[in-house]
A = this chain, B = another copy of it.
């Protein structure tokens, strides 16, 4: 009996769906508002995204580019897209690096005069080389800014382990900005340390929390070398090491057995609903399918993937018939190479495609707060003005439009002259989990995830209804 009111509501929704699928695309504000409401209701009541993410966590696990997990993820998501009655589903090949972490990392203080020995919580940085099985040992110097490292005399760095220990700025409201202000240490630190003759780099984990979880992530090596092993340690360990260095000389022993192997062919997973009217114009929704090789990659970016698939599901479920072609793209290799994004944009450009809009979700499956909207600089103002004219339809859902948007995977599409949207979500909890063993399915709230999928779907239909290409 408890099911009865649910079914009643369901019938009402489908009657509604039938009504507005006739009325759709006419740009009538009332029918648009009704459609958006129905999209949200369908997402919250029937949305599949959290079920898919849970299945992906248990059946696929993490999915670093080139790994068996990535292969399973491709098969799993293609299978879902195949079930959604889209017009086309295909795999798009791309050549991805294949990096393996090897054995559990060892980062330890040996025989400190005041402390004895201690093991740190550590993860090798992605793409980094290993120390080899015998490890290395050297004195540690602490560096807070890359510029101070650059200014140091070479003999102060040569033969040392450089420890990058600048915390994220916790006073920033948006933790993404805090991350952006600190990640140079992880990204460029090891390379600059190597140029100065260091033998290894240790980086404080990129998180606003003080905890014992090490956060991995990419580091950028110089193509010509020299390259050195690079690891992240938890913020608790980084605080400890920083304090210890105030009082004594510290030697660290580091052992990693990471390996970069030959590149292999992998795939972007793509599904499309063809447009009825302007099928040559594409509205893309996407996230990235690869993850780091720890946790479930649940927020980063399993969430963006299942939300993008959910957009297709919701369009079908609510009976929406689009004018433009709506394409869901699950990009491979965002984390350590962007091979999928590069392959996608190259093929798209070669085929003369035009993406009127691309919407990326890659900030975690948290409560959506709005979208950033970006475009080529000469076009941005016109697009923003146009989008702003109908944005009030999304305001009842707490969504704010802000200038500037995009994302790593859709960035290369900017040159096609369309709009790039990045979904903005509440960022407070993201860096508790980002690139760690903790980024697991239990950290993703079903309703928050579904609200994001609904927001993306509503935006797709509004762009399809109201937006058009702006020519310079």
Give A428 to B426 CA distance when docked, in angstroms.
Answer: 12
Among candidates B5, B173, B204, B243, residue contacting A166 with C-beta atoms closer than 8 Å: B5
| Most chain B CB inside 10 Å of its own CB: which residue of A242, A398, A429 | A398
Contact of A2 with B167 in the complex, beta carbons under 8 Å: yes
| Most chain B CB inside 10 Å of its own CB: which residue of A171, A204, A429 | A171
Shortest distance from the beta carbon of A431 to any chain B beta carbon, whole Å: 10
Among candidates B9, B170, B243, residue contacting A45 with C-beta atoms closer than 8 Å: B170
- Tell me if A272 is interfacial: C-beta within 8 Å of chain B: no
Say yes or no: A165-B369 contact (C-beta < 8 A), given A41-B171, A171-B44, A447-B208. no
- Tell me if A6 is interfacial: C-beta within 8 Å of chain B: yes
Shortest distance from the beta carbon of A26 to any chain B beta carbon, whole Å: 25
Shortest distance from the beta carbon of A395 to any chain B beta carbon, whole Å: 9
Contact of A170 with B5 in the complex, beta carbons under 8 Å: no
- Tell me if A20 is interfacial: C-beta within 8 Å of chain B: no
Interface size on A, residues (CB 8 A): 42
| Chain B residues whose CB sits within 8 angstroms of the CB of A367 once the complex forms | 367, 426, 428
- Tell me if A470 is interfacial: C-beta within 8 Å of chain B: no
Shortest distance from the beta carbon of A246 to any chain B beta carbon, whole Å: 6
- Tell me if A445 is interfacial: C-beta within 8 Å of chain B: yes
Contact of A1 with B41 in the complex, beta carbons under 8 Å: no
Shortest distance from the beta carbon of A273 to any chain B beta carbon, whole Å: 24
A sample of 30 cross-chain residue pairs with beta-carbon separation below 8 angstroms, ordered by A number, consists of: A1-B142, A1-B144, A1-B242, A1-B245, A2-B144, A2-B167, A2-B204, A2-B238, A2-B242, A5-B144, A5-B167, A9-B171, A40-B173, A44-B170, A44-B171, A44-B172, A170-B447, A173-B397, A173-B398, A173-B451, A367-B367, A367-B426, A367-B428, A369-B398, A426-B426, A428-B445, A428-B447, A428-B448, A429-B445, A429-B448
Pairs A-B, 6 closest by C-beta atoms: A2-B242, A41-B171, A428-B447, A2-B165, A44-B171, A367-B426
Known contacts A1-B245, A45-B171, A367-B426; 12 further A-B pairs (Cβ under 8 A) = A1-B165, A2-B144, A2-B239, A2-B243, A3-B242, A5-B144, A5-B167, A9-B171, A40-B173, A44-B170, A369-B398, A426-B426
